Amino acid sequence: MKRNKALSLVLALVLFLSLSSSALGAGIKLPAGLTKLEDEVFYGCASVTDVTVPSGVKSIGTNVFKKTAANVWIKGSKGSPMLKLLKGGFDIKAGTKYRALLIAQAYKGTVNELDGPPYDVANMKKTLAEFTGTPFVCTVRQDLTADGIRSAILNTFSAATQYDVSLFYYSGHGVDSTGDLVGTDTGSYYGYVSPSELRSILDQVPGRKIVIVDACYSGNMLDYIKANGGGSGFAGAFASAFRDPTPAANFTEEENAAAYSKYYVMAACTAYETSSEVGSYSYSTGSYNYFGVFTYALLRGLGYDARAKAFCSRYADANGDGKITFGEAFAYARDETVRFEDEYLSRVPQTPQSNLPSNNTYCPFR
């Protein structure tokens, strides 16, 4: 049985675990007063075959039963919150709050003006509203100074707890060689938010954080897996900013990322690529429609087609279970971005990046 830090913490609280030998193997009965299971408490414990969980447990951490015995029995009272959570396949606290900050940097009236971000943000908000199982409350902001970006993050997520989910979405300019997000006060030394600063601000927000950046040079955030955070420009900056803590012994790189990261990050392209936006004109409506290619691809996977201005099938739902994991969403967005650019723009495709493998099973869209 692999014993990790999380397991030790919980065992310290439940010293009188009742172990029994049966035909099932090693059985564990948790005490009646227990109210939560910590992250990864049974991670890799292949010898545990049945666990009795009291009805008072209403909070379940990350990867609690990952890599346990294939046929482990989870026992609990009928209708208990814990069983409902596990039945749905989600190890999150009942009552989790979902908040999203959606920032559109259009830089209206300046030489840096972009057309796509306001459309991207409106489409993102519309799409998130369709996921009633993860009801994101969206805050929309446009054309913020760098200080405005900083304040918006802290204000929007000020009430977050360790069980909540905070989604930060940014559509706007990114700076080559530094990876900074760009405020409207670009003439100021303080008009930029670096990846490391973004990380330090988000570190003040408890719980899980989803970070989605649609900007040029938005970075190879897998650099820390490939070269221990090496690289230059946005690549190195984001790799350092969102790198996981020191890896645990005997864990693969992917297992460490999945087990320890509280950040779920997507970027529109590598450190050396630009992120495209596309405009189209509708003769039937007499109006223009704009969108970032990466955001278009991501939202199409989640069920909204920005080109058609209509909801569509949730193409990212690869296994057809009606829910979309972070890995499914990213894998579809990556492949669709490459396909779209190759087919419609006839250019070398931008290649979306993530800090987690595309088989990540955390499910923020359901």
267/349 same-domain check: yes
**Rounded distance between C-alpha atoms, residue 114 and residue 106, angstroms:** 5
In this prediction, residues 117-143 reach a mean pLDDT of: 96
Write out the two tokens for 97: 């709050």
Given 62, 87, 112, the domain boundary residue is 87
334/202 same-domain check: yes
pTM of the model: 0.71
In this prediction, residues 8-36 reach a mean pLDDT of: 49
Q: Is a pLDDT exceeding 90 seen at residue 86?
A: no
64/147 same-domain check: no
Q: Is a pLDDT exceeding 50 seen at residue 276?
A: yes
pLDDT of residue 115: 94
What b/e readout covers 248-278, taking b as 16+ CB neighbours within 10 angstroms? beebeeebbbbbbbbbbbbbbbbbbbebbbb
pLDDT top residue among 110 and 240: 110
Residue 365 is assigned to a structural domain of this protein: no
Residue 361 is assigned to a structural domain of this protein: no
Given 53, 87, 121, the domain boundary residue is 87
Residue 366 is assigned to a structural domain of this protein: no
Residue 93 is assigned to a structural domain of this protein: no
161/46 same-domain check: no
pLDDT of residue 101: 98
What b/e readout covers 156-167, taking b as 16+ CB neighbours within 10 angstroms? bbeebeebbbbb
62/124 same-domain check: no
Residue 279 is assigned to a structural domain of this protein: yes
66/203 same-domain check: no
pLDDT of residue 258: 40
Give whichever of 101-110, 172-181, 274-283, 348-357 has the largest mean pLDDT.
101-110
153/258 same-domain check: yes
pLDDT of residue 58: 74
What b/e readout covers 291-328, taking b as 16+ CB neighbours within 10 angstroms? bbbbbbbbbbbbbbbbeeeeeeebbbbbeeeebbbbbb
33/161 same-domain check: no
Average pLDDT of every residue of the chain? 76
- Nearest Cα neighbor of 43 from 70, 16, 63, 73 is 63
Residue 278 is assigned to a structural domain of this protein: yes
- The partner residues of 266 in beta bridges, in order of sequence, read 212, 354
30/178 same-domain check: no
Beta strands 287-292 and 36-37: pairing type? unpaired
Length of the chain: 366
CA 16 to chain centre: 37
Please report, for the domain that includes residue 182, its CATH number: 3.40.50.1460
pLDDT of residue 346: 75
Q: How many domains does the chain have?
A: 2
326/238 same-domain check: yes
What's the domain range around 45?
5-87
pLDDT in tens, 183-220: 999 878 889 998 878 888 988 998 889 999 999 877 63
26/117 same-domain check: no
Given a contact cutoff of 8 angstroms between Cβ atoms, the answer to whether 202 and 153 are in contact is yes
Q: Is a pLDDT exceeding 60 seen at residue 224?
A: no
190/70 same-domain check: no
pLDDT band of residue 226 (cuts 50, 70, 90) is very low
Residue 362 is assigned to a structural domain of this protein: no
Given 46, 66, 87, the domain boundary residue is 87
pLDDT in tens, 64-82: 766 665 556 777 766 676 6
